[in-house]
Structures are given as C-alpha cells and as structure tokens.
Amino acid sequence: MKITKTSISRLNTTDFSNLPFGTVFSDHMLVCHYKDGEWLAPQIEPYGPISMFPGTQVLHYGQSVFEGMKAFKNNNDEVLLFRKEENLKRLNQSAVRLSIPEIPEDVFINGLIELLKLDGEWCKADDGYSLYIRPFIFASSEWIKASSSDEFTFMIITSPTINYYPGSIDLVIEQHFSRATNGGVGYAKAAGNYAGSFYPTKKANARGFTQVIWTDSKEHKYIEESGTMNIWFRIDNKLITPSLSDSILGGITRDSILKLAIDAGIDVEERIVSVAEILEASKNGTLQEAFGTGTAVTVVAVKSITLEDIKMNIPTQENPISMRFKKQLQDLQYGRSEDIFSWTSKVTSSITAF
Ligand SMILES: Cc1ncc(COP(=O)(O)O)c(C=O)c1O
C-alpha cells in the first residue's frame, strides 16, 4: 500500500485534555477510489482537504454511507480494535441499500490496520480515551443527473476522543417526525438519515431533552431507537429491546449487550415494544431501568422519558444492570478482562514513531 507520511505531525500540539467529540483529527487518512467497475489500490496520505467539483453527485443526492467504531489502548500500549468485522459487514449492508459497490475485506481491514499503525499514538492509554474511527463512502462522479454514481470514494479518518461519562439523559417520545420508514433506509448508516434527524432533535433539545425516542412512522405507537443509540428497558426484571427491522439500525453495541446478557443468564427479549406498555410499566412501578447503547456512549442510563405532557421518571437503582454492562463492555474493549467472545484484535505492538 502506498503510504505518504505527514512531514509535520500535529500529535504534540494537540490538547488531549480538550477533545470535543469529532472535532480533532489524527495525522493520516486512507483513500480508495472506485472507477470503471472496481476498487483501486488504497493509499494513506496526510489528513487534509479533498478537492471536488461542485457537480459531484454526493453534494446533490447524498449517496453516501458511513461507519462508526473505536480503537482502545490496553495496559501494554497495544491498540485494540473491537468487532471490526461487524463494522465492515454493516458498511457493506448499507452500501448495497444505497447502490454503492461493497468494499473488499482486504481494503477495509488492511487499510484500517495500516492507518492505525501510523496513528496509534493518537489513541491514548489513559482511562476514558479511545480513537473514534470513521470509515465512509461517497458518490464521486461529477454529474447532477438523479441516478446512481459510477465513481465512489472510500475513506477512513480517525479522531481521538475522551469519554465524558455523560450522566443520565432525558428523552422525549417523538410523535410527529420519523427517522425511518418501512422499506426505507433506516437500517443503513446512510448519511441522509442523520441529516433528517437534526431538525426534530434540535426542537427536542430546545425543550430541554437530550434526545428523542424514535417511534414507528405509521402510528408513532412503537418504540424504535433513541437518537443514535439503540434503546433498552428493564421491566419486572426482564431486559427488553425493540426487535430489529428495516427502520432500526442494528447496533454492534446492542448485539454485544445481547450476548453479554444471554451469557449472564439474564431474561432478555427482542420484540416489539409499545409506548403504551412503557407508560403502563412506569405507572405500576415495574419499569426499573431504561438505557441507550452505542459506540459513542457505550451505555448511558435514561433518567426520564416524556410522552406529551407526561414525564416518566425512571427510578435510580442501587446496582443498575446498565452500568454493569458498561463496565463489562469497557473491560473487554480496553483488554482488561478475558476476551471470551474473541471480540478484540491487536493492531500492533510497536507504534510507529514520527
Ligand atoms: C441510528 C443509530 N442507532 C444505533 C446506533 C448504535 O450502533 P452501534 O452500537 O453500532 O454504535 C447508532 C450508532 O452508530 C446509530 O447511528
């Protein structure tokens, strides 16, 4: 793979105590072009601007998909990736739905590893630090006809992050706007899904809520997910999460929690979850916990859920199951516990020095 290293690393001038999420980028990026029906050889270059013509397809029709994953550093200064194959699988599922050619495994996996070998120092070993990884593909043909592009660009950029351990969050059940519809692209990480969510989310933020809970687009009676997280409830000692559909993004954290729960012998159900049953469980005192899961937050507890003018306060538990999962997951991700599911892989043991 052609690798062009940066001549001036920004590593020593970056303030690692101040890392607003997704705003600081590491030194290098992977770039791979798709032309004439095939993905060409990927290369690694210094992180920097990319040039494109105003008529580039993605700017007009949003034919673009992305992924979100993290690398962690263990106590031996080794960079660990968490379930990277799952991200590749989901990226390609998204690509198929958006009429984008799938990324070959070697381009994704080898490209990612080479990139992390170069920028491993951007992943700090201290507790709470991780390196957020953003693979993405966009339509790069220069045309404004409304049809699928025939040229694409795949890139990977990385961004150091610190876990701010957000406290518990306040959610509101969205009863007007929808994130996704049946037959649509909700199960894909399509860029446009996020563009469409900003307006309702901003409105909810202005009313003092951290995030919205997305419901089904037909009747707004069934719970789907929350913001960019999957959602979970503990009712009467049963752990419940909405079953996946074409309007829900199948989170890799969700899948990991499911496996941890089953392994721990917890009674867990993936099924349709109605707004009415959450309201009922809150009223009759059986709603014990609610929490969200996703790569960015890992696991975050929900403090309240509002439905129109009814605020359901979620009781504070002494030993919440959500925090148990959070610890278990983070221990695995940082290589602090035995990797019984074979979820982590080491990138390198020697970090490239600049
Ligand atoms: C809409 C949506 N739901 C759920 C998730 C959680 O997915 P994961 O656990 O793979 O980060 C994300 C984040 O990627 C998301 O964007």
12-23 pLDDT, tens digit per residue, is: 999 999 999 999
**pLDDT at residue number 128:** 87
Residue ending a domain, among 116, 140, 164, is 164
Domain endpoint, select from 164, 180, 204: 164
CB distance 292 to ligand 1 below 6 Å = no
Q: Which atom of ligand 1 is nearest to the CA of 230?
A: 4
Domain co-membership, 195 together with 74:
no
Distance 225 CA to ligand 1 centre (A): 9
Instruction: Say yes or no: 88 and 193 in one domain.
Output: no
* In-domain check, residue 341: no
224 lines ligand 1 (CB under 6 A): no
The structure's pTM equals 0.96
Q: Is 252 helix (H, G, I), strand (E, B) or coil?
A: helix
Q: Which atom of ligand 1 is nearest to the CA of 295?
A: 11
Q: Which residue in the block uniquely carries the two structure tokens 């518990």?
A: 168
Which residue is closest in CA terms to ligand 1's atom 2?
228
Per-residue model confidence (pLDDT) at position 354 = 36
Distance of CA 261 to the CA centre of its chain: 20
Kindly report, residue by residue over 139-167, the tens digit of the pLDDT. 999 999 999 999 999 999 999 999 766 68
221 and 158, same domain (yes or no)? no
Which parts of the chain are beta strand (E)?
Answer: 2-3, 28-35, 38-39, 43-46, 64-66, 69-73, 79-82, 129-139, 152-162, 169-173, 211-215, 223-226, 230-235, 238-242, 268-271, 287-294, 298-307, 310-313, 344-346
Closest residue by Cα to residue 241 from 253, 164, 53, 86: 253
Task: Please tell me the residue having the least CA distance from ligand 1 atom 15.
Answer: 228
Same domain flag for 194 and 326: yes
Confidence of residue 243 (pLDDT cuts 50, 70, 90): very high
Tell me if 212 is assigned to some domain. Answer: yes
Q: Are residues 23 and 92 in the same domain?
A: yes
Tally of structural domains, the chain: 2
Establish if 345 belongs to a structural domain.
Answer: no
pLDDT digits (tens, 9 = 90+) for 264-313: 999 999 999 999 999 999 999 999 999 999 999 999 999 999 999 999 99
> Closest Cα partner for 165 from 130, 139, 192?
130
Which range marks the domain in which residue 328 is found? Answer: 169-333
Same domain, yes or no: 159 and 216: no
Mean pLDDT score across all residues of the chain? 96
Domain boundary at 135, 164, 193, which?
164
In sequence order, which residues have a C-beta less than 8 Å from that of residue 154 and are 6 or more positions away? 30, 31, 32, 33, 34, 39, 42, 103, 107, 135, 136, 137
Give the model's pLDDT for residue 312: 98
The answer to whether the CB of 170 is under 6 A from ligand 1 is: no
Does residue 132 share a domain with residue 279? no
pLDDT digits (tens, 9 = 90+) for 96-137: 999 999 999 999 999 999 999 999 999 999 888 999 999 999
Mean per-residue pLDDT for 201-227?
Answer: 98
Per-residue pLDDT at 353 exceeds 50: no
